[in-house]
Amino acid sequence: MISSAVTISLVPEARGGPFVFWDDLPAACRKAGALGYDAVEIFPPGPEAIDVPALRDLLDANHLKVAAFGTGAGWVKHKLHLVLPDASQREKAREFIRSIIDLAGPFQAPAIIGSMQGRWGDLPRNDAMGYFADALNDLGEHAKQYGVPLIYEPLNRYETNMANTVEAGIALLDTLSTKNVTLLADLFHMNIEEADIAAALKAGGKHIGHVHFVDSNRRPAGCGHLNFIPIAAALQEIGYKGYASAEAFPYPDSDQAAKSTIEAYRKYFGQAV
């Protein structure tokens, strides 16, 4: 069965970004729990921002899990990514991601590499791809001790030139020595880059480890022009059992975005209320 999740950003520098809830972790968890979400996906400024025992209590009280932790604050706050020309900056980016993996692991949650993949250009493509593959191998193996994968998210062409499609993501995974990296299928990015979203999900098969459940315009599912019927059928066909996580703009506001997404989730993924 596919589980539901909703995003919470705790990063002021990400304001304007595609996160449903903002700033107030306890209030967001209460709202997610009340709506019947299975989990929250947290975008923290860094590991020190999360009070681990307090988060555990919050999750228990609201019958929630953590679907994943994002690592993008390493980019939006610290301007770090994994293919910067300077080796010490690349290492800092890796350390930041490692610290999020160590935060996430005890929650049995994976970390996501999205914007931290950076883009090549300051470095030749081959060098950048080599550094990136090294980092994925290292960090993927690091995540193994927690029994979780590392999740890599292909992004659309306006955000990265590393890998924009599921096919390019799989080609990259094929070069890795680690088997512990899976792909994130973000339906917003896929709507820009894929010729056929459902076909791409089917081709992704066992490599699809997480889904950002969102519409064409990055509004909540149901507020754009995506046809979720073939998307849901494709996920079912590949036996996907991860999260459909609402990474969407808080449109028209956070509460309504969370409500309309859980309704869409129930409609398309058949969750009993």
Q: Does 70 bind ligand LER (CB under 6 A)?
A: yes
Q: Structure tokens of 221?
A: 């599912």
**Nearest by Cα to 214 from 200, 231, 239:** 231
What is the distance between the alpha carbons of residues 260 and 148, in angstroms, rounded to a whole number? Answer: 29
Q: Structure tokens of 157?
A: 């062409």
- Please give the angle made by the CA atoms of 74, 146 and 4, to the nearest 5 degrees: 75
Question: Beta-carbon neighbour count of residue 120 at 10 Å?
Answer: 18
Site string for ligand LER, 151-180 (x = CB under 6 A): --x-x---x---------------------
Q: Is 247 a catalytic residue?
A: yes
Q: Is 194 a catalytic residue?
A: no
Site string for Mn ion, 174-213 (x = CB under 5 A): ------------x-------------------------x-
Q: Does 41 bind ligand LER (CB under 6 A)?
A: no
Site string for Mn ion, 231-250 (x = CB under 5 A): ----------------x---
Structural contact between residues 22 and 247, judged by C-beta atoms closer than 8 angstroms: no
Q: Please report how many Cα atoms fall inside a 13 Å half-sphere around the Cα of residue 110, on the Cβ side.
A: 24
Q: Using CB under 6 A, which of 5, 37, 186, 257 touches ligand LER?
A: 186
Q: How far is the CB of 212 from ligand LER (least distance, A)?
A: 6
Query: Catalytic: which of 13, 41, 153, 167?
Result: 153
Site string for Mn ion, 139-178 (x = CB under 5 A): ----------------------------------------
Structural contact between residues 167 and 128, judged by C-beta atoms closer than 8 angstroms: no
Task: Answer with the entry of ligand LER, Mn ion, none that 134 interacts with (C-beta below 5 to 8 A by kind).
Answer: none
Question: Beta-carbon neighbour count of residue 273 at 10 Å?
Answer: 6
The contacts of residue 74 (CB under 8 Å, 6+ apart) are 80, 81, 93, 96, 97, 100, 116
Contact positions with ligand LER (CB under 6 A) in 96-115: 114-115
List, by residue number, the catalytic residues. 153, 247
- Residues lying near Mn ion in the complex (CB under 5 A): 186, 212, 247
- Residues lying near ligand LER in the complex (CB under 6 A): 70, 72, 114-115, 153, 155, 159, 186, 212, 247
